[in-house]
Every structure is written in C-alpha cells, then in structure tokens.
Amino acid sequence: QKEVEQNSGPLSVPEGAIASLNCTYSDRGSQSFFWYRQYSGKSPELIMSIYSNGDKEDGRFTAQLNKASQYVSLLIRDSQPSDSATYLCAGPRGNTGKLIFGQGTTLQVKP
C-alpha cells in the first residue's frame, strides 16, 4: 500500500471554477500534511500546511484534513490558467520529518 496516494489526473476545469484535489494516506499517526505546487521542470513550492482536522483557508486555497478517513484535500476557488501545474500532497514521517510525497495531480485550467 502506497503511503500517500493521489489521482495523477489530469484534472481539467474551466477558468473560474473550483478545482478539488484529493489525497489519501496510510499512516494513522500522521499529524500534518503539506500541499506543494510544482510547475514543469521546477521545484515544489509550498502552498499550504494543515495540522488539525477541519478546514484551513488561505486566499483562494482551502485545505481540508480528515484524520478519521485519512484524507486530505485542496480546493482552489476561482481557478486561473496560472494555477495549471502538478499539485503534490506530502506528509512528514518519523523523527527526521522526511516528506513522503504522493504522485501528484496535474491540474489544467482552461481559459
């Protein structure tokens, strides 16, 4: 079983719509998760972190964490073509905090 799983997509949404990106994880002890955005050929760029059950909002982005269901999601409101990228879900593991990444979901926002 993969530790962090994401649907690789592509997920295609029209400009202005809400994009919903999902991630599941296997380690019930996980306490926090991170969403990174990665443009082609570039490095991961942190969008949001979430530590508690529930929702966390930052501008157009909302992260949701459900520890009982081992599920993390990222909502992007008013999607823009510049949001087109691969979104990586990652959770830290162990004492060193190494990040375990999902495969990433490719988002395409069409004008």
Partner 1 sequence: EPEVTQTPSHQVTQMGQEVILRCVPISNHLYFYWYRQILGQKVEFLVSFYNNEISEKSEIFDDQFSVERPDGSNFTLKIRSTKLEDSAMYFCASSTRTSRSDTQYFGPGTRLTVL
- The residue (of 9 and 17) whose beta carbon lies closer to partner 1 is 9
Instruction: Report how many helices (DSSP H) and strands (DSSP E) the chain contains, helices first.
Output: 0, 11
Q: Which stretch binds partner 1 (CB under 8 A): 21-29, 37-45, 60-68, 75-83?
A: 37-45
Q: Which of 21, 23, 30, 44 binds partner 1 (CB under 8 A)?
A: 44
Q: Which stretch binds partner 1 (CB under 8 A): 11-19, 42-50, 60-68, 75-83?
A: 42-50
- 92, 98 Cβ separation under 8 angstroms: yes
* Count of alpha carbons within 13 angstroms of residue 85, beta-carbon side: 19
